């Protein structure tokens, strides 16, 4: 159920972001850049939970949309330092407001205390499921619980 719900939420969130010319992944990347400007693409990929190959095209898209800049990284000549443009600084709060309204609409008939509890529990379940945003992907696999042996049932 969580999987199906997640897929539909992502689909609907994509519709909400369409007027901005963004997909959910773009939004996630922008939020991460805003939290800490000048990160490398590799760092962003780790934080968002995608492979660095995917980050290339995400940053490509955002650069074409005029929302981010690839600058020279001050410490590592291999890496880019990714920064928001002024257009992004203007756009991001509006997109975040749409996201907040969307979440509110989903939980519209849910008691606010229950809403908060659900998000807190899901956050803890996410960690248990190996979804640790701050963790390097290479470390995630070892945290995955091993599948159950079907013969033992």
Partner DNA sequence: TATTGTTATACTCTATAACTATA
Partner DNA sequence: TATAGTTATAGAGTATAACAATA
Query: 26 vs 80, which CB is nearer to a second copy?
Result: 26
Query: 70 vs 115, which CB is nearer to DNA?
Result: 70
Among 12, 20, 31, 42, contact with DNA (rule: CB under 7 A): 42
Contact flag: residue 72 with DNA (CB under 7 A): no
Contact flag: residue 92 with a second copy (CB under 8 A): no
DSSP codes of every residue in 45-76:
HHHHTS-HHHHHHHHHHHHHTTSEEEEE-SS-
Q: In angstroms, what is the minimal distance from the CB of 125 to a second copy?
A: 5
b/e map 36-65, b = 16+ CB within 10 Å: eeebbbbbbbbbbebeeeebeebbebbeeb
Q: List contacts with DNA (CB under 7 A).
A: 7, 23, 25, 40-43, 45, 50-57, 59-60, 70, 73, 76-80
């Amino acid at each position: 159920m969580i999987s199906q719900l997640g897929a539909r939420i992502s689909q609907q969130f994509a519709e909400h972001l369409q007027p901005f010319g963004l997909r959910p992944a773009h939004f996630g990347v922008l939020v991460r850049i805003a939290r800490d400007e000048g990160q490398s693409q590799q760092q962003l990929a780790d934080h968002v939970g995608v492979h660095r190959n995917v980050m290339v095209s995400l940053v490509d898209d955002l650069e074409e949309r005029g929302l981010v800049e690839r600058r020279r990284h001050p410490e590592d000549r291999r890496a880019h330092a990714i920064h928001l443009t002024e257009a992004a600084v203007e756009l991001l709060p509006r997109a975040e407001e749409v996201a907040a309204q969307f979440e509110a609409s989903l939980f519209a008939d849910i008691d606010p205390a229950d809403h908060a509890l659900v998000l807190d529990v899901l956050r803890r379940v996410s960690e248990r499921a190996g979804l640790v945003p701050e963790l390097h992907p290479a470390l995630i696999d070892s945290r995955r619980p091993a599948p159950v042996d079907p013969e033992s049932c």
